[in-house]
Amino acid sequence: MWSARRISVDYPGTPVLEDVSIDIAPGEIVGLGGPSGCGKTTLARAMLGLRAPHRGTISLDGHDIRSAPRGSLAMLFQAPRSATNPRHTLRRIIDEPQRIRAPRGARARSSIEETAATAGLTPDLLDRYPHEVSDGQLQRACLARALVQRPRYLVCDEATAMLDPVTTATLARQLVDHAREHHMGILLISHDIALLGAVADRALSLPAPGPAR
Ligand SMILES: Nc1ncnc2c1ncn2[C@@H]1O[C@H](COP(=O)(O)OP(=O)(O)OP(=O)(O)O)[C@@H](O)[C@H]1O
């Protein structure tokens, strides 16, 4: 179980999250909505251990998130072009987490092809550079990069916002299938209520920012 328990997070001079709790079980897809600026990305960053709450705890299987094994959590961002190196092929982009952990090796190579296929990428695209593929194809490479280490939990932060509805639906379906098969929990952040309704097991909403909070 991946949990935030009664967390509060501030940026200097800006209280963002106040007493927020959330649990995500293995294989569960939890939607997170709410108006712009309400703190969805901030909650995701806290859940990933990238921003410490000033109150409350974040844990993975009951242990503090800071001791989570490397590769157990992954994140898929909104804009693939700003999340990838334009000088690297898609193959190298997908391989990046493994290159950091275990340089070279046949096992890594074969899992790239496999993971790319899971993310809906055909092998002929793997030797292309980001400027030679569409946004949707590049986002699939980012998804493959996120999945290549078999994370136990994944955050998707508006990850389909720049894709057309058909590509979004296909990508979401592939992601859900993967999550079910590998018992991977997903925190799915989106403004798209229809997407959350179609894909999430349940959805939460953060309140609007403002003095009333
Ligand atoms: N690094 C930062 N420093 C200071 N304030 C920040 C920082 N990052 C975000 N904020 C502020 O925190 C609040 C919540 O931002 P956050 O990005 O978490 O909201 P969000 O719900 O994800 O918004 P959106 O739906 O527009 O992406 C906003 O008021 C934002 O301006």
Q: What is 1-72+154-213's CATH superfamily?
A: P-loop containing nucleotide triphosphate hydrolases (3.40.50.300)
- Give 104 Cα–ligand 1 centroid separation in angstroms: 38
pLDDT digits (tens, 9 = 90+) for 61-111: 999 999 998 889 999 988 899 999 999 999 999 998 877 766 555 555 558
CA neighbor of 184 nearest in space, from 168, 198, 169, 201:
201
pLDDT digits (tens, 9 = 90+) for 53-65: 999 999 999 999 9
Ligand 1 site, CB within 6 A:
11, 14, 16, 34, 36-42, 209
pLDDT digits (tens, 9 = 90+) for 7-35: 999 999 888 999 999 999 999 999 999 99
Q: Model confidence at 213, in pLDDT bands (50, 70, 90)?
A: very low
What are the residue ranges spanned by the domains of the chain? 1-72+154-213, 84-150
Kind of pairing between the strands at 202-205 and 185-189: unpaired
- Position 33 scores a pLDDT of 93
**130, 94 contact by CB (below 8 A):** no
- Give 39 Cα–ligand 1 centroid separation in angstroms: 6
Provide the whole-model pTM. 0.90
